């Protein structure tokens, strides 16, 4: 899909013609390479013959995971035993033809396989090699095992979030993997940057993406308040405002939105009231101000509140489930979802959240079967059809 004002006759993909070797598993790496796929790169996902762990994650239909499909649609599938000489030779030959390699094994695994950056760049100095890990490729924590929930805790993110939950002292449960998705997105951006630099230098490079630093990048305010003391507000500044039948989120982040909100709730005198007339004063008296807002909002339904706030230009939204959000007409207008197909049937995936006037960003519509492209890829690089595959998990997946 493209912007409505797309360039006339343009149907190309931004990364068409690029080849990517994808050794990544779970979420962070596959999210990165799914974006590369959507941009038109030929992404070759390399797995053992039992497939990576996300293939077993629900929802499952006829043994096919839509969670796996959402992250891997459009990729080619190559099955190899990376512990065998035949498997590593296949990778070396493919690496000579590739533009990008993405892996998210624990640091040291690719080196033990003889497929680390220093080894692979000998056959292709133009290769952009992206390593995604919990803590980075070097340092005292580099080889620690890590998944997104561990990084949420280690980065301070969970405790920072807890600080906004009045009366709570136990960190929240969380099944939303921020660290994976954002790290994969940073990896995508770094790869795009390296591709541009390669047009100048003619050389590839090693990209080292840390999930720990990724999560710290989400704590913009907390990074500064950890260095310089700031008195917290008695009530968190951004949170649910009660209505007659639910809650809304109201964000007062500018003088204009504050003044508009005071008009909506019938408190225009508060605009010049010393307790609220400046941002600093509002912080000190936030509870009193929001009590006044809720005295108004509790008399109205959520829909009525949103109508009044919207008419005045006050940023606000109802709290919705993901299913409710997916049904938003705005997402339909932007064609935010695509229907894709695997052996279990069809399902919806979210498209990349940007549109380009000069390139198509829609995903492919079909999931490859595990190992579907193994023979063709080996033939392309001059190897026999009977590819050596592992009987299951290899050291590369540890």
- 319-341 pLDDT, tens per residue? 999 999 999 999 999 999 999 99
- pLDDT value of position 9: 58
Q: Hey, how many other C-beta atoms are within 10 angstroms of the C-beta on 92?
A: 17
Q: Are residues 201 and 111 in the same domain?
A: yes
Give yes or no for residue 388 having a pLDDT over 70: no
Q: Which of 318, 342, 368 is the last residue of a domain?
A: 318
Residue 343 and residue 369 in contact, taking contact as beta carbons nearer than 8 Å: yes
User: Which residue in 135, 159, 139 sits closest to 147, CA to CA?
Assistant: 135
**CB atoms < 10 A from the CB of 172, how many?**
11
Residue 253 within a domain:
yes
Residue 242 covered by a domain: no
pTM of this structure: 0.92
Report the pLDDT value the prediction gives residue 233, as an integer from 0 to 100: 85
- On whether residue 324 sits in a domain, the answer given is no
- Any domain includes 1: no
Q: Are residues 131 and 277 in the same domain?
A: no
Q: Is 283 helix (H, G, I), strand (E, B) or coil?
A: helix
> Are 381 and 258 within one domain?
no
323 domain residue, yes or no: no
| 273 and 195 co-located in one domain | no
Domain of residue 255, residue span: 247-318
Instruction: Please state whether the peptide bond connecting residue 59 to the residue before it is cis, i.e. omega within 30 degrees of 0.
Output: yes
Whether the predicted pLDDT of 87 surpasses 60: yes
> Are 84 and 186 in the same domain?
yes
pLDDT at residue number 398: 34
Is residue 371 included in any domain, yes or no? yes
Q: What is the DSSP letter of 326?
A: H
Q: Is the same domain home to 267 and 118?
A: no
Helix spans in the chain (H)? 28-38, 66-72, 85-95, 109-112, 117-120, 148-154, 157-162, 178-201, 211-216, 220-225, 255-264, 279-284, 286-297, 302-312, 322-326, 329-333, 374-380
Rounded CA-CA distance 126/206 in Å is 11
Please, what sign has the CA dihedral across residues 44, 62, 28, 17?
positive
Query: What is each CA distance from 320 to 17, 174, 298, 308, 327, in whole angstroms?
Result: 40, 18, 18, 19, 10
**Total domains in the fold of the chain:** 2
Q: Is residue 151, in this structure, part of any structural domain at all? A: yes
Query: Residue 127: pLDDT band by 50, 70, 90 thresholds?
Result: very high
Phi and psi at residue 73, to the nearest 5°: -60, 140
CATH number of the domain to which 279 belongs: 3.30.1540.10
Residues 337 and 251 in one domain: no
Lowest mean pLDDT segment, chosen from 123-132, 225-234, 247-256, 381-390: 381-390
Tell me the pLDDT of the chain averaged across its residues: 94
Q: Per the domain annotation, does 3 fall within a domain?
A: no
Task: Give the Cα separation of 273 and 388 in Å (integer).
Answer: 76
- 120 and 268 part of one domain: no
- pLDDT digit string (tens) for 355-380? 999 999 999 999 999 999 999 999 99
**Are 155 and 267 in a shared domain?**
no
Q: Last residue of some domain: 318, 337, 370?
A: 318
Whether residues 122 and 197 fall in one domain: yes
Q: What values do phi and psi take at 205, rounded to 5?
A: -165, 170
**Whether 104 and 138 share a structural domain:** yes
Residue at a domain's end among 318, 351, 377: 318
Q: Write out the DSSP string of 54-115.
A: GGGPSSEETTEEHHHHHHHTT-EEEE--TTSHHHHHHHHHHHTT-SEEEE-SPTTHHHHTT-
What separation, in Å, do the N-terminal and C-terminal C-alpha atoms of the chain show? 38
CA 11 – CA 1 distance, rounded (Å) = 9
């Amino acid at each position: 899909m493209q912007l409505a004002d797309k360039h006339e006759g343009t149907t190309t993909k931004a990364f068409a013609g690029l080849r990517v070797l994808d050794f990544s598993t779970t979420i962070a790496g596959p999210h990165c390479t799914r974006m590369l796929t959507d941009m038109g790169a030929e992404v070759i996902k390399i797995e053992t013959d039992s497939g990576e762990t996300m293939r077993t994650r629900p929802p499952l239909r006829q043994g096919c995971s839509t969670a796996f499909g959402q992250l891997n649609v459009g990729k080619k599938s190559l099955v190899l035993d990376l512990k065998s000489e035949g498997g590593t030779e296949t990778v070396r030959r493919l690496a000579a033809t590739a533009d990008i390699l993405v892996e998210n094994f624990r640091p040291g695994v690719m080196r033990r396989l003889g497929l680390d950056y220093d080894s692979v760049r000998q056959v292709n100095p133009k290769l952009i090699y992206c390593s995604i890990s919990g803590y980075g490729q070097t340092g005292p924590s580099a080889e620690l095992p890590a998944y997104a929930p561990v990084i949420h805790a280690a980065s301070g993110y969970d405790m920072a979030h807890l600080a906004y939950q009045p009366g709570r002292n136990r960190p929240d449960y969380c099944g939303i993997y921020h660290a994976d998705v954002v790290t994969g997105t940073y990896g995508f951006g770094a790869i795009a940057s390296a591709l541009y630099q390669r047009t100048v230098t003619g050389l590839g490079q090693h990209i080292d993406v840390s999930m720990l630093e990724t999560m710290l990048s989400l704590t913009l305010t907390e990074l500064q308040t950890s260095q310089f003391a700031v008195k917290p507000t008695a009530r968190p500044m951004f949170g649910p405002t009660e209505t007659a039948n639910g809650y809304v989120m109201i964000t007062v982040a500018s003088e204009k939105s504050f003044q508009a909100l005071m008009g909506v709730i019938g408190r225009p005198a508060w605009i010049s009231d010393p307790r609220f007339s400046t941002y600093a004063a509002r912080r000190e008296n936030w509870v009193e101000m929001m009590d006044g807002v809720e005295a108004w909002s509790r008399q109205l339904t959520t829909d009525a509140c949103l109508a009044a706030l919207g008419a005045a230009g006050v940023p606000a939204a109802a709290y919705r489930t993901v299913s409710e959000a997916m049904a938003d007409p705005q997402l339909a207008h932007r064609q935010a979802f695509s229907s894709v197909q695997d052996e279990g049937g069809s399902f919806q995936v979210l498209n990349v959240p940007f549109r380009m006037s000069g390139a198509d960003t829609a995903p492919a519509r079909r999931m490859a079967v595990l190992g579907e492209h193994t023979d063709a890829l080996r033939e392309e690089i001059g190897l026999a059809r009977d590819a050596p595959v592992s009987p299951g998990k290899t050291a590369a997946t540890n």
